[in-house]
Amino acid sequence: MRTGFAPACHAGLAVFDRWRVDLGVFVICGGGLVLGALTWLLGERAVATAAWILAAIAALLPLAWQVLGALRRREAGVDVLALVAIGGALLLHEHLTAAVIALMFAGGTLLESHAERRARRELSALLAHAPRSAQRYEGGGLVDIPLEAIAPGDRLVVRHGEVLAVDGTLTAERAVLDESTLTGESLPVTWLRGDRLRSGAINAGDAFDMVATAVVADSTFAAVVRLVEAAQQSRAPAVRLADRYALWFVPLALLLAALAWLVSGDPLRALAVLVVATPCPLLLAVPIAVVAGISRCARRGILVKDGAALEGLAASQTLFFDKTGTLTGGQARLIGIEGVATADADHLLALAASLEQLSSHVIATAVVGAARQRQLALQVPREVSESAGAGISGRIDGARVSVGSLDYVSRVASVPLPMRALLERSLNEGASAVLVAVDGQFAGMLLLADQLRVEAPRALRLLRRSGIGRIVMLTGDRREVAEAIGAGLGVDEVLAEHTPAGKLAVIKAARANGRTVMVGDGINDAPALAAADVGVAMGARGATASAEAADIVLIADRLDRLAEALRIARDTRRIALQSVFAGMGLSLLAMAVAALGYLPPLYGAALQEAIDVAVILNALRVLRIQPLRTSQYRLDPAQVEHLHAEHRELEPVLDRLSAVADRLPTLQGDAFVAAVREVEAMLRERVLPHEQADDHEVYPQIAALLGGDDPLAAMSRSHREIFRLHRRLAGLVAGLSAPQVDARARQELQRTLHALDAILRLHFLQEEEIYQNLAPD
């Protein structure tokens, strides 16, 4: 049975073998040239001539085989010039010139294969640490088992330094993993109990237990291996870019050589022209730059399957994005808790999560995750019954609890009209709702939504800055949901409610107007990814069909890595073309001088060698392309986690603020006063101290990292607006008296609460984006 980690290095071995052959040819050519020079100085001219002929033939034979193969495929490239130059020099008894050209050609070819070998090493690094076995709990002990024996549900232990063999769920308190080979992030990542772990990561901390959720062949690392196989077996397309220029350069060089011969009657002039045109920067600079660009992408967690994808991305002007899993996280997240006046938000969430523990529905997983994030104590329910896709019921502490959809909960409890209206509005805005009833009484409602990726706004800004002219959201979701998200991101157009066939038709039509890029992550995106000029899949795990249909896979599963890939692609193309045109310009000038008889073949060979070395070194600058960063400095990982944790702790406050603001019109008398006083106290005691600490402690540190006079001025102004709104709220609350609250005060209070809710949520999102940008790679 194939495990998914079977050796996938045939292409890598081919590259390695080619490098060894090129090295051997270079050694023979260099040794022959040096031996010939020494024996010539010693007066052994026959030996010297033989050594030079041997050096020339060592390069000529593999070159002839390569050219013949290209001609059979009807692909005539710049290798023809090298073949004619070496062969012509031998025929004209310019043996030293032939040996110099051979060494020059062999050296350039060796440099190319060395660059490719170095780049392939980045792709093959994933295969180097593939696990061979795993430790599974059996009969109270640990048993070493082969990978193919692992099944979902198996309890495994991962020791320090070992590689995770399969995807799974962490059952230990925490785990510290080195995910650099998967994501390109250099620092270890800490995961907590219940988090999903990806195979291929290395345990950088203490041993921990996990439960397998997939077989080896369906795990993340196996998917990455398959993608590496495809990448290693593909031909770099920028070589075709070189061949396009060769279509006119090769005939021009041959024509100029023929004219020089005809006009002067001296075949050496023709040879001199061919020498300075061979092997020319077209043969070396372009493939070296492309392979180096693929290598640079691999270091950043971006798997480019071939050079055509890199070239296509560099020339793209229009980007199509799927919504779910691409612009959004693809997972439901708790965004609000709504309930009757007597309902406690955490208690309601704990009840629902306790019951949802026994459900496998994706919404149930999100509810349980939200409760664990708030560190709520969950109980074990009894007498549980589930209606698939509708809801679940059971007993908790003697109470009969029902959790599920409106139709499901309505069978046992009456849902108030205001809650029905709120439910309808939330559904129109793209949220999902989980209703809760306790002992036949409606208790409240949990709102969940698929939220934008934190890095999405920054990624789209970087893409526009890199030259993308048009950004389109192409999704199968409802129009009102898609348009709301599209407006928030500032995309140019929203195409919603499209089936996979509809997406395919849109991409095909767009290709008529220029190069297109499609970014997606689901199975339904696979046809569009395959049809686009460049298909980009988010992450190697999940929808294998989309990853295999794509030309580029963002293994790091971060949207801003697409902006990095675009920058690397465009810089690679710029450097490659810079090398080509600079080298060709110098070669054309040298060809003209040689045609006039001022540049003998031997000196022309030395000059061409200098030109080639210069353009090759310039092409290798691709390896020094730096990541996209607004700052070269980074926050400490512990600081970033602490800042994120503070926001997570304040989420219940924002949820309560939002719930009270929405329910204010339905509250009366003492309930009204108690609710607004509770919210004001929570803001005063928890939110304001947090904002003050940010202003005095956190912002000065971040400002120093970002640079500039006052880079966080806008964020500080947001703090002042938050303080101002709270003072207004406190003044309104101080003037309240039950049981009567006049309509004007009620309206002003609701307006103030909604304003606070909006600015706090926006402010937190802006801070999260800053923290994400300053987090270590």
DSSP E strands in 204-305: the ranges are 208-212, 302-304
Nearest to 537 by CA among 302, 199, 220, 775: 302
The catalytically annotated residue of 243, 322, 525, 571 is 322
Distance CA 348, CA 441 (A): 13
- Looking at the DSSP assignment, which residues form a beta bridge with residue 144? 135
Nearest to 429 by CA among 475, 483, 367: 483
Distance CA 265, CA 288 (A): 39
- 322 annotated active-site: yes
DSSP E strands in 460-504: the ranges are 470-474, 493-495
Q: State the distance between the two ends of the chain, measured CA to CA, in whole angstroms.
A: 37
- Sequence-ordered list of residues with C-beta below 8 angstroms from that of 412, at least 6 positions apart, any chain: 393, 402, 437, 440
CB contact at 8 A, 581 and 243: no
Ramachandran angles phi, psi of 133, nearest 5°: -155, 175
- Looking at the DSSP assignment, which residues form a beta bridge with residue 441? 438
Compute CA distances 271 → 42, 90, 261, 276, whole Å: 28, 10, 9, 9
Distance CA 299, CA 122 (A): 7
SS (H, E, C) 716-759: HHHHHHHHHHHHHHHHHHHCCCCCCCCHHHHHHHHHHHHHHHHH
* Three-state DSSP state, 537: strand
Distance CA 314, CA 570 (A): 5
Two structure tokens written together for 531:
């049809």
Distance CA 369, CA 364 (A): 8
CB contact at 8 A, 268 and 96: no
- Sequence-ordered list of residues with C-beta below 8 angstroms from that of 482, at least 6 positions apart, any chain: 323, 473, 475, 494, 496, 497
One DSSP character per residue, 313-364 reads HHT--EEEE-IIIIIEEEEEEEEEEEE-TT--HHHHHHHHHHHHTT---HHH
Distance CA 615, CA 287 (A): 12
Distance CA 323, CA 529 (A): 14
Two structure tokens written together for 316:
């793209």
Pairing of strands 516-520, 534-538: parallel
Distance CA 334, CA 349 (A): 10
- Sequence-ordered list of residues with C-beta below 8 angstroms from that of 725, at least 6 positions apart, any chain: 752, 755, 756, 759
Per the omega criterion (within 30 degrees of 0), is the bond before 739 cis?
A: yes
* Three-state DSSP state, 550: coil
Burial (0-12, 13-18, 19+ Cβ within 10 Å), 346: middle
Give the active site residues: 322
